[in-house]
Amino acid sequence: GQQVMQIPQYQHVQEGEDFTTYCNSSTTLSNIQWYKQRPGGHPVFLIQLVKSGEVKKQKRLTFQFGEAKKNSSLHITATQTTDVGTYFCAGPRGSSNTGKLIFGQGTTLQVKP
């Protein structure tokens, strides 16, 4: 069945270091979404990428969607303690527009001050 995998599962960095999480889908996606979940909180939508090869930036966060629309990455430059949390990628399930998403397992980021 359709799968979305994320690596790494956990990442510990020193404050100021960069961080990258990778998302790989078993199928071509019409779009990829990224969510952030703070410890004890709920997932919050960050961004959606739609076009092949698309790159979007939000301050220190850079999101990329692969040319084949099967992989994506989130890169954080110069991490801060406020970046702590779990980052999930998600893509539409199947080919029909049902609104259902399939989520990756998430990458949990810890930042040491």
Partner 1 sequence: DGGITQSPKYLFRKEGQNVTLSCEQNLNHDAMYWYRQDPGQGLRLIYYSQIVNDFQKGDIAEGYSVSREKKESFPLTVTSAQKNPTAFYLCASSRRTDTQYFGPGTRLTVL
* Binding site residues, partner 1, CB under 8 A: 9, 31, 33, 41-45, 48, 88, 90, 92, 97-101, 103-106, 108
**Nearest distance from C-beta of residue 16 to partner 1, angstroms:** 26
- Measure the CA–CA gap between 42 and 15, rounded to whole angstroms: 24
User: Tokens at residue 87, please?
Assistant: 């980052």
Closer to partner 1 by Cβ: residue 76 or 90: 90
**Nearest distance from C-beta of residue 87 to partner 1, angstroms:** 11
67 within 8 A of 12, measured Cβ to Cβ: no
**Nearest distance from C-beta of residue 81 to partner 1, angstroms:** 21
- Measure the CA–CA gap between 61 and 83, rounded to whole angstroms: 10
Closer to partner 1 by Cβ: residue 71 or 107: 107
Q: What angle do CA 24, 25, 31 make, to 5 degrees?
A: 105
Closer to partner 1 by Cβ: residue 26 or 80: 26
